[in-house]
Amino acid sequence: MIERLAQIDRRWIFLAMGLSIAIPVLLQMQFPEIPGSQSQAVFDAIEQLKPGDRVLMAWDYEPSTEGELGPMATAFARQCCEKGVRMYFVTLIPVGEKMIDKTIDNVLRADFPNLVEGVDYVNLGFKAGYEGVIKVIVTDLRKLYTTDANGTNIDLIPMCRDVQNIQQMKLIVNVSGSYPGSKEWVQYAATPYKINMVAGCTGVQSPLMYPYIPHQCQGLLGAIKGASEYETLVAEKYLSENPDPKYMEARRRMGPQLVAHLLMILLIVAGNVVYFAQRRSGGVAG
């Protein structure tokens, strides 16, 4: 038995992983979520904003991490819309513009048709230069952004007329999937210029962000779990009992995550059982 387990073809493991994700998705498994302290901190940071406050929405992710970060971006946008803040979307990643468009189409235009582009929100789009872009716009926005993503002169956009740099933002909301992302926004904008910031990032990135919490980054949503907790908070305050499915994406994804994580634990245990059994029989060097 142990021998067979030790020699198991990895394709069986792939199949088990595939099923552990597919079955909960097909069964639409969902679990109640209890928000943690970080999700609460993120929620509170946005809740404290007043209508008309300026918020920089830095969407630094791409399709590869959209599954993990898309739901939190949607929930961020929803809460910001509910608060009536002015949203300035930017991205440091070329395909980030598509992510911004998706958020604007799915949340702002679909559920808040009263919001006016250029007055309530603006998509400033992508600029090449990684953290170099942050370093410039933190002191002079117009040096890099002379137009928005549609090519409209920034001086003709009502909500941009009085903005000299991003130090005038009340909050930076960053969704980050890789480099450049949350870390760069903390290092080049939030910390040196004391701008409040909350972030949402992938599970791989989140351990790297913890050293900045809570002084340099007020709150952090780590991976789909953080998104799910935050989504619960937003839904409880602003959405009806049966919200639109787009506002339940993170919670829907917790079902596959639970089963996949249990499988991982099972595989680690099985691997160690094999390891110790083989060591006892002298098959593996300790």
Partner 1 sequence: MKRLIPLLITAIGGFVLIVAFFIPAWQASGETVAVWFDILASIAFILGGGNLLKVHLQHISDRRAGWGYSVVTLLAFLLTLWFGCCKTNAPPAPNTEYYGESFASLPLEALPEFSVAGTLPVRGDDKPLPASVRRQVRAEDGSLYFRGWMNPDQITELMSYQDSLEWQASVEELANTAQPPPELEGKVFYRADHGALAFRGMMREADRSALERLFAEHPAGTAAVAQLWEASRRETSVEIATAPPGLAIPDSQSEVVSLDGSRLSIRGPMSESLRRQLSIDWTHPERMRPFTADQTTALLKELTDSGLPMSPALEVAVNEELGKLWRPEALVLAINSAGIPAPEEKSASELFTEMRAGERNLQRLKPAGPAVQLNAAQIARIEAFAFDPAITVESLEEGLRQDGDWTGAQAAALGRFLSQQPTLAEFRRSLTQTLLRQARIEGVLLPRESIERLLADSRAQADWQRNVDVLFRAAHVVKFPWSGAYDAAGTPFGWIYEFIFQPLTATMFALLAFYVASAAFRAFRAKNAEAILLLGTAFIILLVQTPLGVWLTAWVPDSLSALRADELKRYIMSLFNTAGNRAIMIGIALGVVATSLKILLGIDRSYLGSGDD
Q: Which residues bind partner 1 (CB under 8 A)?
A: 8, 10, 13-14, 16-18, 21, 31-34, 36-37, 62-67, 95, 97-98, 127-130, 132-133, 135-136, 139-140, 143-144, 150-153, 155-156, 161, 203, 206-208, 210-211, 213, 223, 225, 254, 257-258, 260-265, 267-268, 270-272, 275-276, 286
Instruction: Please tell me the distance from the alpha carbon of residue 263 to that of residue 23, in angstroms, as a whole number.
Output: 13
Nearer to partner 1, 47 or 155 (CB): 155
DSSP state of 104: I
Nearer to partner 1, 49 or 274 (CB): 274
Are 72 and 250 spatial neighbours (Cβ–Cβ below 8 Å)? Answer: yes
Least distance between partner 1 and beta carbon 21 (Å): 7
Are 230 and 199 spatial neighbours (Cβ–Cβ below 8 Å)? Answer: no
User: Phi, psi (5° rounding) for residue 127?
Assistant: -130, 135
Nearer to partner 1, 143 or 280 (CB): 143
Q: Which two tokens stand for residue 108?
A: 């702002």
Beta-carbon count within 10 A of 258 CB:
14
Least distance between partner 1 and beta carbon 49 (Å): 25
Nearer to partner 1, 49 or 65 (CB): 65
Least distance between partner 1 and beta carbon 207 (Å): 5
Nearer to partner 1, 65 or 182 (CB): 65
Least distance between partner 1 and beta carbon 173 (Å): 21
Least distance between partner 1 and beta carbon 221 (Å): 12
Instruction: Please tell me the distance from the alpha carbon of residue 164 to that of residue 193, in angstroms, as a whole number.
Output: 14
Determine which helix (DSSP H) or strand (DSSP E) holds 201, and give its type and residue range.
strand 197-201
Q: Which two tokens stand for residue 229?
A: 């907790």
Instruction: Please tell me the distance from the alpha carbon of residue 84 to that of residue 209, in angstroms, as a whole number.
Output: 28
